[in-house]
Amino acid sequence: VEQTSIMIKPDGVQRGLIGEIISRLEKKGFYLKGLKLVTVDRPFAEKHYAHLSAKPFFSGLVDYIISGPVVAMIWEGKNVVTTGRKIIGATNPAQSEPGTIRGDFAIDIGRNVIHGSDAVESANKEIALWFPEGPANCQSSQHSWIYE
Ligand code: GTP
Ligand code: MG
């Protein structure tokens, strides 16, 4: 089954959006397979966003991610990478549709509340980085009510 890495960024944590965000993903039918509140250091954040290291906003992005605790999660379900990104909304909240997390709760691209893996390959890499212990050993009891 497909898994993705979704992280509530420091602004989302400080603004009290943890419950709302988890609730949206749960209600959709996705299944929570890992969760932790962690404050990461600069080398870790630089590793997570390594593919953006040449961007002019990179150091600001790293400052942002290490500015407070984040909620790192593993979510599981059919097409969870792509659908998770749809629920999150476009990177720049100015373009995110209302009804998406960023569309409903964010204004600036540099304070866009949440991260979601952009492909199965990056999801697997990010899950290994954030959860070296692996996902929780649990199974949804609702499976047959969500999948045909
Ligand atoms: P993530 O889920 O956080 O990875 O966002 P994304 O996949 O929608 O976008 P991308 O991976 O390209 O960029 C990662 C993060 O860098 C974004 O979520 C923004 O917080 C930040 N970012 C991207 N582009 C810009 C930019 O032009 N300016 C600023 N200040 N931040 C940016
Ligand atoms: Mg990205």
pLDDT, residue 42, reads 98
Tens digits of residue pLDDT in 49-92: 999 999 999 999 999 999 999 999 999 999 999 999 999 999 99
Tens digits of residue pLDDT in 81-124: 999 999 999 999 999 999 999 999 999 999 999 999 999 999 99
Ligand nearest to the CA of 4: 1
Which residues are annotated binding-site positions for ATP? 9, 57, 85, 91, 102, 112
Cα 124 to chain centroid distance, Å, stands at 13
- DSSP letter at 97 equals P
pLDDT, residue 118, reads 98
pLDDT, residue 19, reads 98
* Ligand 1 atom closest to 111 (CA): 20
Sheet containing strand 31-38, strands side by side: 31-38, 70-76, 3-8, 114-116
pLDDT, residue 126, reads 98
Q: How far is the CA of 89 from the centre of ligand 2 (A)?
A: 12
pTM beyond 0.90: yes
The answer to whether the CB of 30 falls within 8 A of the CB of 84 is yes
- Lookup result for tokens 């993705």: 4
- Which two structure tokens, joined as six digits, stand for 121? 């390959």
The answer to whether the CB of 29 falls within 8 A of the CB of 83 is no
Give the C-alpha separation, 96 to 93, whole Å: 5
The answer to whether the CB of 72 falls within 8 A of the CB of 38 is yes
